[in-house]
A and B are shown apart, each in its own frame.
Chain A
Amino acid sequence: MSHTVAIARLEAQAGLRRGWLLGLLVLGLLAILLVAVLAAGESGLEQADEFRAGGSAVLLLGGLAAALGLGAGLANRDADGGWYGLLIGAGGSREAVTAGRLAARGALMLGTLAAWAVALQVASAAIGRGLDGPLAVHSLAMAENLLLVFLATALASTALGPVVSAVVGLIVHVTAQALVNLQAAADQGVVGSVARPVIRFTYLVFPREVTSPMISQMQARDVAGVAAPQFEINQSVVEIPAASGGTVLWTLFWCALLAVGVIAAMRRRPLG
């Protein structure tokens, strides 16, 4: 067994015993149960909208909590406290220790999200809607978006404390969404021509939020709830289109870049 795998396995075991993560997982499942109960009282399109809006809110809010919590705890405290030092003093390389911990925490975050996504499908079937394909695709889009937030938070944690790292992760999430919104506004001619090249440049360079077709359509009808409130600029409603394949790949590329950045940042960091 390689050092990275051994460290990842143990880190995942430790993560599964942490009260806050288990509590969050259970809270998300209870919220999904509540969403299903509320949606069961509706029918037709209203039921679909209510169920999907509630489910999307659970994935976004719960997923953000998991991504920020797991990312913010990756490096700072354990690096200063001696855990990294103990593992490196035993013969693990900095790269193996960091990659193992990063992989385990990423897997815990995606696993939590997957548990909620499966619960949503089970709940959808239980209230007579059958399996929900568009919601499954939305769950995948959220997984990519939250992976980006997790990795950005983890990178921040190599230099900053947990709270500030979580704030950085939140800023990355908001910025990635804002870039998509502003580009859509520019495409629809709602922003001035002076700002358009700047928006285009930042849109092309920085990571972007992946918008699923389901949430795009719901947002256009203003029924997406907290997961995607309608976006207005200069008193005009902007329709946010579903992400293209290019955006999916670009954000994945940024995820890979951030993961490499985390490992590189830990190569020279002083350890306790």
Chain B
Amino acid sequence: MRDLEVRYQRGAQAAVSGVGFELAPGEGLLLTGGPGAGKTSVLRAVLGLVETPVPRVMVFDRRPGDEAAMRRVGYAPQRWPFTRGLRAGEVATLACRLKGLDDPAAAAADAMRRAALTDPTARVERLEIEDVRRLCLACAIAGTPDLLVLDDPWEFPETEREVRDALARGAAVLAASADPGGLPALLGRTLELADGAPVEAVSA
């Protein structure tokens, strides 16, 4: 990613500008900054959820949002990102099916166990916030993604273990958090953003 620029609804002011980094296999990067700094917008650009000029952002040598590239990505969104009426296990199974995993139900069950989700049969609108974050983590870690993208992850012991395991097997990890806690040490590199721009170069 180089000199990224993100604008919403063709707005005059860029939500993000001048952000650039590379993430090699086995590397981690933490985006930090206060609310509105542009952390989530950068992650959305990586996933193709917002339009960005190609080829400024490339994911596995493909454009963001490319289906084949996205199947190698594990994404945990922030907040409560579901639609009403579904059960936790159904959400995780659908995510595994979209990833193209051989046995989506078994893969989802494994991911939910690793994320320590307590009740896969619970309706998503009735989940406690902690289980919401665990379900998001389960959707991200299902299978063996080559790139983990974690937006505002909660620092459960399971999060830390999965990030370590991902880095150890050669996957890249990109996370964003306003309150990073122990994540900088875990991921190795930090990029601080303010008003949509880097405050300083990537620090080790």
- Give 22 CB contacts A-B under 8 Å: A6-B98, A10-B86, A10-B90, A11-B83, A17-B85, A83-B81, A83-B82, A83-B83, A84-B49, A85-B77, A86-B91, A86-B136, A88-B49, A89-B73, A89-B77, A90-B95, A91-B67, A91-B71, A91-B98, A93-B67, A270-B9, A272-B44
Chain A contact residues, CB within 8 Å of chain B: 1, 3, 6-7, 10-11, 13-18, 78, 81-94, 268, 270-272
- CB of B149 within 8 Å of the partner chain: yes
Determine the chain B residues whose CB is within 8 A of the CB of A82 once the complex forms.
77-82
Given contacts A91-B70, A94-B65, 10 further A-B contacts (CB under 8 A): A10-B86, A11-B83, A14-B86, A18-B85, A82-B82, A88-B48, A89-B77, A270-B8, A271-B44, A271-B50
> Once the chains are docked, how many angstroms separate the CA of A204 from the CA of B86?
43
Contact with A85, one of B81, B98, B123 (Cβ below 8 angstroms): B81
Report which of B47, B84, B94, B96 forms a contact with A18, defined as CB distance below 8 A: B84
Tell me which residues across on chain B come within 8 A of A84, comparing CB atoms: 49
What's the tally of chain B residues with a CB closer than 8 Å to chain A?
37
In the complex, whether B154 has a CB less than 8 A from a CB of chain A is no
Chain B residues, CB < 8 A from A14:
83-86
**Which residues of chain B are within 8 angstroms of A11 by Cβ–Cβ distance?**
83
Q: Point out residues on B near A: beta carbons under 8 Å.
A: 8-9, 44, 47-51, 65, 67, 70-71, 73, 75, 77-86, 90-91, 94-100, 123, 136, 139, 149
Complex contacts, B50 vs chain A, CB 8 Å? 270-271
Closest Cβ neighbor of B8 among chain A residues: A270
9 smallest beta-carbon distances between A and B, as pairs: A82-B81, A89-B75, A14-B85, A91-B71, A271-B49, A90-B98, A90-B95, A17-B85, A82-B77
CB distance from A50 to the nearest CB of B (A): 38
Could you tell me if A88 and B70 are in contact, using CB atoms closer than 8 angstroms?
A: yes
Knowing A90-B99, A91-B98, say if A85 contacts B49 (CB, 8 Å).
yes
Contact of A86 with B77 at beta-carbon distance under 8 Å, contacts A3-B98, A10-B90, A271-B50 already known: yes
A1–B94 Cα gap in the complex (Å)? 11
Whether the pair A81, B81 counts as a contact (CB closer than 8 A) is yes
- List of B residues within 8 angstroms of A15 by Cβ: 85
Q: Inside 8 A of B48's CB, which chain A residues have their CB?
A: 88
CB atoms of A86 and B81 under 8 A apart: yes
Q: Find chain A residues with CB under 8 A from B73 CB.
A: 89, 91
The reply to whether B83 and A78 form a contact with Cβ atoms under 8 Å apart is yes
Complex: chain A residue closest to B6, CB-CB: A270
Chain A hits for B75, CB < 8 A: 85-86, 89-90
CB-nearest residue of chain A to B142: A90
